[in-house]
Amino acid sequence: MKESIAKRVHELYWEKDVNCATTSLLCLSELLEVELQPQVLQAAAGMHGAGGYRAQCGLVEGPLMFLGVYLHLLRRPQAEVVSACYRFAAEFEAAFGSLRCSRLRPTGFSENDPPHLCEGLTCRAIEFAYRFILEIAES
- pTM score: 0.91
**Cβ burial 39-52 (10 Å sphere, 16+ → b, else e):** ebbeebeebbbeee
Contact (CB, 8 A) for 108 and 97 = no
Strand partners, 56: 100
CA nearest neighbour of 71 among 84, 62, 86:
84
Strand partners, 106: 108
Q: Tell me the per-residue pLDDT of 73-129, one tens digit each, with 9 for 90 and over.
A: 999 999 999 999 999 999 999 999 999 888 887 766 667 776 677 899 999 999 999
Distance (Å, rounded) from C-alpha 24 to C-alpha 9? Answer: 8
Please tell me the predicted confidence (pLDDT) of residue 102.
81
